[in-house]
């Protein structure tokens, strides 16, 4: 790919050095670990896609670095005493990139699309909304089937991203080919596996504080190449600096490194019942999945691949999270237990497993270590490397046995679980289905106290770690590296990037973001 070499990137982007004044800065160039999938908030699911959305699509609400919900397109909201209605006041003077006005009718249309579009992955996230009521040009009521402790957190992510109703109605499922939102930058062009280019939207409601003319996202899977391009000045920022590259990045004079502990996880997802390929030994017998889990030393994996910079994990949240089930701690490898489970399942001489893995440096390194550990127990893992969007498409279609894949994490614990493990979950690519898990997950959405919700998640976790549709491996620390001419960067635990202007402090300024606007960059899957 053209962007994988410094000289080719220079030719692609031209000789426009970012040395303009804070008011006239040029192109912000951000290197991504992989290419985004479809640029439709209702259909997409990649972490890097969410990074693009931070520049492209405003949401109803946003979060702070401390994970508090704050206004964005919704300026305030109230919840009825019985928790079955949320009344939102909306920001006035906002237009979508095609000139369509943003108002209560637009919000109602967005929610209807998320709930009814055949391809939408947001259905389970907004399932509690039974209807909407437009009570004024800039006021809307969300009527709920019952209290939903998760809804505001959902609206702080893709489910709350507002797209132009006009463009959405015209394009249907093809909206992602030319996405039209209301963020500070509008879509210009996309070359698959090469670049996504956005340009400044002059009619943005806070346009005076946006100091870049454009933002270019460049997928560069190789971590070494990404860092080399940052050091040479051909890109301005990289997301997910490899932990093994930390010493080199920190030693560089013109590079700043920032980090935040992730809300999400990385692991292996199994095909339990997704199409014909779900009818396989690994999907049909949980003892095989349990055997693989026992063969993996998660602490050793963290040390070998990440120099201990990340955190070993066996649940959807890190052990430091208040939602972690402390009665199910991380255990070391137990090869005898792994072999016993294989024999019990009818494979005393071992068994093979094909795992698809993203074609970027760290996932491949992770699975090579897992491959070596599993071999000791008699599990022969073969790895199939794929571009990440292709991997996701195959996983969604059921064309896989197992995938090394993760999740960037959500503010509310529901976001790390419900859509993955409930029977009709929007991204339940395993097609795992357990009535008790459904009951517990749905009950956790409407429970009135944190204590009640924690007890329900703890009970569900016992089942999930026994069935293992997802086998958890570790929790990332989000590590960003960027040119020291960029000022005002704030790392967020959800992996999204936030900018505030620092006029006069550098040749390259970043957009000022008022309360409720997270800036030119963004985080997660």
If one counts every other C-beta atom within 10 angstroms of the C-beta of residue 436, the result is 11
- 505, pLDDT greater than 60: no
* Parallel, antiparallel or unpaired: strands 25-32 and 237-239: parallel
370 has a pLDDT exceeding 60:
yes
What integer pLDDT is reported at residue 402 of this predicted model? Answer: 98
Does pLDDT of 513 surpass 60? no
Say how far residue 153 (Cα) sits from the centre of its chain. Answer: 14
More confident of the two residues 486 and 474: 474
User: Dihedral of the CA atoms 287, 295, 333, 406 (nearest 10)?
Assistant: -90
Lowest-pLDDT range, 138-147, 257-266, 272-281?
A: 257-266
Which tens digits make up the pLDDT trace of 159-197?
999 999 999 999 999 999 999 999 999 999 999 999 999
The whole-angstrom separation of Cα 87 and Cα 47 is 30
Pair 473, 373: CB distance under 8 Å: no
432 contacts 286 by C-beta, under 8 angstroms: no
> What CATH number is given for 265-475 in this structure?
3.10.105.10
Tell me, rounded to whole angstroms, the distance of Cα 32 from its chain centroid: 13
Q: How confident is the model at residue 497 (pLDDT cuts 50, 70, 90)?
A: low
The pLDDT value recorded for residue 121 is: 93
Distance (Å, rounded) from C-alpha 237 to C-alpha 212?
Answer: 14
pLDDT of 14 over the 50 cut: no
In the chain, CATH 3.10.105.10 covers 265-475
pLDDT above 50 (res 10): no
pLDDT band per the 50, 70, 90 thresholds, residue 411? confident
What are 78-102's pLDDT values in tens digits?
999 999 999 999 999 999 999 999 9
Could you give the 3-state DSSP secondary structure of residue 309? Answer: coil
What integer pLDDT is reported at residue 100 of this predicted model? 98
Query: pLDDT category, 518, cuts 50, 70, 90?
Result: very low
Question: Residue 144 — pLDDT band, cuts 50, 70, 90?
Answer: very high
Q: Which CATH class is domain 61-167?
A: alpha beta
What are the pLDDT digits (tens) for 392-404? 999 999 999 999 9
pLDDT at 79: 96
How far apart CA 407 and CA 425 sit, in angstroms, is 15
> How many CB atoms sit inside 10 A of residue 198's CB?
26
pLDDT for position 490: 82
Most confident region among 4-8, 147-151, 210-214 by mean pLDDT: 147-151
Lowest average pLDDT, out of 61-75, 229-243, 501-515, goes to 501-515
Q: Compute the Cα dihedral for 298, 299, 302, 303 and give only its sign.
A: negative
Whether 501 shows a pLDDT value over 60: the answer reads no
In this predicted model, which residue has the larger pLDDT, 114 or 11? 114
Where is 351: in which H helix or E strand? strand 351-358
Of the candidates 276, 290, 266, the residue with the CA atom closest to the CA atom of residue 401: 276
What pLDDT sits at residue 449? Answer: 92
pLDDT digits (tens, 9 = 90+) for 296-335: 999 999 999 999 989 999 999 988 889 999 999 999 999 9
Start and end residues for every CATH 3.90.76.10 domain found in the chain: 61-167
**Average pLDDT for 325-346:** 97
More confident residue, 467 or 490: 467
Question: Which residues does residue 71 pair with via DSSP β-bridges, in sequence order?
Answer: 61
* Rounded average pLDDT over 406-423: 93
pLDDT of residue 393: 93
Q: How far apart are CA 176 and CA 376, in angstroms?
A: 45
Rounded to an integer, the average pLDDT of 13-24 is 31
Average pLDDT, stretch 438-444? 97
E-strand stretches of 387-517: 402-407, 470-475, 477-483, 490-491, 497-498
**Predicted local confidence at residue 516, as pLDDT:** 36
The Cα–Cα gap between 272 and 286 comes to: 9
- Does pLDDT of 520 surpass 60? no
Percent of all residues in the chain with a pLDDT value above 70, rounded to a whole number: 90
pLDDT, residue 19, reads 29
Q: What fold is seen in the domain 2-56+183-262+477-498?
A: D-Maltodextrin-Binding Protein; domain 2 (3.40.190)
pLDDT tens profile 31-76: 999 999 999 999 999 999 999 999 999 999 998 888 889 999 999 9
- CATH 3.40.190.10-classified regions of the chain: 2-56+183-262+477-498
What is the pLDDT, as a whole number, of residue 500? 35
């Amino acid at each position: 790919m053209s962007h994988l070499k410094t000289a080719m990137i220079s030719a692609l982007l031209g000789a426009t050095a970012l040395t303009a004044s804070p008011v006239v800065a040029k192109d912000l160039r951000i290197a991504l670990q992989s290419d985004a999938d479809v640029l439709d908030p209702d259909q997409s699911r990649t972490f890097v896609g969410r990074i693009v959305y931070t520049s492209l699509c405003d949401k109803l609400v946003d979060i702070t670095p401390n994970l508090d919900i704050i206004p964005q397109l919704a300026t305030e909201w109230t919840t009825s005493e019985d928790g079955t209605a949320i009344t939102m006041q909306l920001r006035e003077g906002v237009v979508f990139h095609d000139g369509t006005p943003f108002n209560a009718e637009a919000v109602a249309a967005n929610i209807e699309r998320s709930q009814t579009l055949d391809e939408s992955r947001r259905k389970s996230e907004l399932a509690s909304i039974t209807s909407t009521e437009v009570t004024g040009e800039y006021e809307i009521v969300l009527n709920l089937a019952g209290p939903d402790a998760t809804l505001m957190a959902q609206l702080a992510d893709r489910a709350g991203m507002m797209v132009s109703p006009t463009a959405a109605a015209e394009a249907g499922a093809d909206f992602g080919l030319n996405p039209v939102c209301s963020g500070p930058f509008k879509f210009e062009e996309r070359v698959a596996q090469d670049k996504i280019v956005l340009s400044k939207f002059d009619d943005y409601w806070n346009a005076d504080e946006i100091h870049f003319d454009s933002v270019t996202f460049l997928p560069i899977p190789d971590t070494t190449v990404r860092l080399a391009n940052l050091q040479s000045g051909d890109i301005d920022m990289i997301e997910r600096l490899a932990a093994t590259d930390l010493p080199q990045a920190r030693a560089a004079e013109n590079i700043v490194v920032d980090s935040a502990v992730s809300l999400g996880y990385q692991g292996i997802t199994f095909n339990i019942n997704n199409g014909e390929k779900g009818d396989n030994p690994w999907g049909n017998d949980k003892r095989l999945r349990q055997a693989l889990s026992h063969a993996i030393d998660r602490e050793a994996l963290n040390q070998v691949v990440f120099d201990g910079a990340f955190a070993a994990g066996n649940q959807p949240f890190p052990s430091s999270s208040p939602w972690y089930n402390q009665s199910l701690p991380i255990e070391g490898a137990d090869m005898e237990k792994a072999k016993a489970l294989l024999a019990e399942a009818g494979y005393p001489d071992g068994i093979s497993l094909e795992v698809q893995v993203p074609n970027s440096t760290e996932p491949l390194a992770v699975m090579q270590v897992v491959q070596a550990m599993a071999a000791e127990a008699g599990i022969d893992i073969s790895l199939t490397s794929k571009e990440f969007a292709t991997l996701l498409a195959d996983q969604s279609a059921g064309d896989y046995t197992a995938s090394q894949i993760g999740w960037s994490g959500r503010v509310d614990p529901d976001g790390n679980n419900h859509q993955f493990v409930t029977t009709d979950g929007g991204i339940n690519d395993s097609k795992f289905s357990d009535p008790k898990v459904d009951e517990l997950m749905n009950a956790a959405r409407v429970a009135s106290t944190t204590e009640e919700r924690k007890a329900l998640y703890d009970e569900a976790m016992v089942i999930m770690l026994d069935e293992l549709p997802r086998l958890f491996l570790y929790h990332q620390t989000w590590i960003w590296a960027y040119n020291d001419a960029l000022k005002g960067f704030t790392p967020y635990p959800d992996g999204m990037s936030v900018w505030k202007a620092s006029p006069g402090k550098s040749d390259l300024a970043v957009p000022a973001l008022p309360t409720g606007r997270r800036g030119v960059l963004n985080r997660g899957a």
